[in-house]
Structure 1
């Protein structure tokens, strides 16, 4: 599953876009520099998402929308088409993203 697919699944499960969840996390005092465990615990308890999906959101909350180039353009299971994640909702993502 690609990183973007994890975020899309979080949106499907919670009904909230990744950007909405980043804002909710900021409202809780989480952001850059936050430790992963408290953020993940909050996401799991508040939104009922699993650990892997919570950790994908932890990355976005604490490190932003950019990911490493390791899987970009690869043919593996975890491939992504871009090193920038789309946070504004899967239905609004441009077809050429």
Structure 2
């Protein structure tokens, strides 16, 4: 049995492939944003970077959870 990532991290390989940036770079962008609320950050990734809702939501959830 493999130790495949679960939860938001399971989206990371697809995010890197589709949007051409490593997840660490996306997380840095999220942390650098003046926005702090989950859905504000999701909307920003969608509007400014053309990211789909599921991918944006996964990145924001994982990044904000690290800060807790």
Q: With structure 2 as the length reference, what TM-score do the two structures score? A: 0.72
Greater helix share, 1 or 2?
2
Gaps of 5+ in 2: 1-5
2:23 matches 1:18: yes
Q: Which has the larger radius of gyration?
A: 1
Give the number of aligned pairs. 62
* Distance change in 2, residues 1:2/1:28 (3 Å): closer
For 1:50, the equivalent position in structure 2 comes to 52
For 1:89, the equivalent position in structure 2 comes to none
What is the aligned-residue RMSD (CA, Å)?
2.1
2:16 matches 1:8: no
Gaps of 5+ in 1: 65-97
